[in-house]
């Protein structure tokens, strides 16, 4: 079962453009996905945290997964099925299977505290509802529930665990996850977009990041050089990723990702929550600053965005 799930690569934590009513901007998404594919991006995580999944209802998420699967082909698509309600997770997992997707990702339920034993029970319940490989998804800053090593090990022993996505501020956790992955036979994908050279040196096999949406060239080049043990100098790409991160970090996640999308020449759509005049102004400033950098760096506006 694990063979259908990617073992490595650069994946976009996909930004999803919608209008002011929350309706998908299909042509904008199609152009964006086509460009990502042309840049060597291997696939996408659909409806992850960058995709603002909590703001869509179940039927919207099903429809979005169907559309993304259609437009992203032949790139691999991993469906994030996370939700506070296990019945929603199960419905999305079964829908992902019906679409023939590469696998699913699961976060712990958010908002309420969840013990490690209950996290394991939740993950096993959702994974047992479909026949797809599973990637656990650790982002405690958003869920308020950190997935512990003992839970990951127990899940790997009892379910088709293919990988884990490590996001958030606990960079050192990569070390323990990678060591456990080697023992249990799963891969670690990092969300540390601006530190990819470091996580690949530790043994991570891929990344799933929001910045892939607008600077995939740098991230793909870092991945390829690190994974192949190439002598190619990635110093410039690493420095530019850190500079991009310094601009994006001025605004809160995930709307900050849309600033990069717009700066690179794509339609990002309307914010899906109320935004203050201050944040709207800051968004525009980041767009302008990033556009200036992209021009200076010789990153062209994609023809597909026209």
Asked if residue 285 has pLDDT above 60, the reply is yes
- Look at residue 2 in the predicted model and tell me its pLDDT: 41
Please enumerate in sequence order all residues whose Cβ is within 8 A of that of 184, keeping only pairs 6 or more positions apart, or say none: 152, 153, 156, 157, 161
Under the banding of pLDDT at 50, 70 and 90, the label for residue 228 is confident
Q: pLDDT tens digit string along 60-79?
A: 999 999 999 999 999 999 99
Which of 33-42, 104-113, 220-229 shows the lowest per-residue confidence on average (mean pLDDT)? 220-229
Q: CA 103, 61, 63 angle in degrees (round to 5)?
A: 95
- % of the chain residues with pLDDT over 90: 94
CB 159 within 8 A of CB 124: yes
- Look at residue 231 in the predicted model and tell me its pLDDT: 66
Q: What is the pTM of this model?
A: 0.95
- Look at residue 268 in the predicted model and tell me its pLDDT: 97
- Look at residue 303 in the predicted model and tell me its pLDDT: 66
Asked if residue 275 has pLDDT above 60, the reply is yes
Residue-range domain boundaries for the chain: 2-227
Under the banding of pLDDT at 50, 70 and 90, the label for residue 300 is confident
Asked if residue 142 has pLDDT above 60, the reply is yes
- Look at residue 265 in the predicted model and tell me its pLDDT: 96
Q: pLDDT tens digit string along 7-32?
A: 999 999 999 999 999 999 999 999 99
Tokens linked to 195: 């530190």
Domain 2-227: give its CATH code: 3.20.20.70
- Look at residue 213 in the predicted model and tell me its pLDDT: 98
- Look at residue 1 in the predicted model and tell me its pLDDT: 41
Asked if residue 301 has pLDDT above 90, the reply is no
């Amino acid at each position: 079962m694990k063979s259908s799930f990617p073992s490595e690569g650069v994946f976009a934590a996909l930004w999803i453009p919608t209008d002011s009513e929350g309706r998908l901007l299909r042509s904008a998404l199609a152009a964006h996905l086509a460009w990502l594919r042309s840049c060597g991006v291997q696939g996408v995580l659909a409806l992850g945290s960058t995709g603002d999944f909590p703001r869509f209802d179940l039927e919207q998420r099903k429809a979005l997964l169907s559309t993304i699967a259609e437009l992203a082909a032949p790139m691999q698509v991993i469906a994030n099925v996370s939700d506070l309600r296990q019945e929603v997770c199960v419905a999305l997992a079964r829908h992902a299977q019906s679409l023939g997707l590469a696998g699913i990702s699961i976060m712990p339920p958010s908002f309420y505290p969840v013990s490690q034993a209950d996290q394991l029970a939740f993950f096993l319940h959702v994974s047992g509802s479909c026949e797809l490989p599973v990637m656990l998804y650790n982002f405690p800053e958003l869920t308020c529930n950190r997935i512990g090593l003992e839970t990951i090990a127990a899940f790997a022993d009892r379910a088709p665990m293919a990988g884990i996505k490590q996001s958030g501020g606990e960079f050192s956790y990569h070390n323990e996850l990678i060591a456990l992955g080697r023992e249990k036979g799963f891969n670690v994908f990092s969300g540390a977009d601006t530190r990819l050279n470091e996580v690949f040196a530790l043994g991570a096999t891929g990344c799933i990041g929001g910045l892939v949406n607008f600077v995939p060239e740098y991230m793909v080049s870092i991945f390829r050089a690190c994974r192949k043990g190439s002598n190619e100098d990635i110093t410039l790409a690493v420095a530019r990723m850190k500079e991009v991160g310094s601009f994006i970090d001025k605004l809160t996640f995930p709307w900050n990702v849309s600033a990069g999308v717009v700066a690179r020449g794509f339609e990002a759509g309307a914010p899906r929550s109320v935004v203050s005049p201050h944040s709207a102004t800051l968004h525009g400033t980041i767009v302008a600053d990033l556009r200036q950098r992209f021009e200076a760096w010789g990153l062209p506006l994609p023809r597909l965005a026209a």
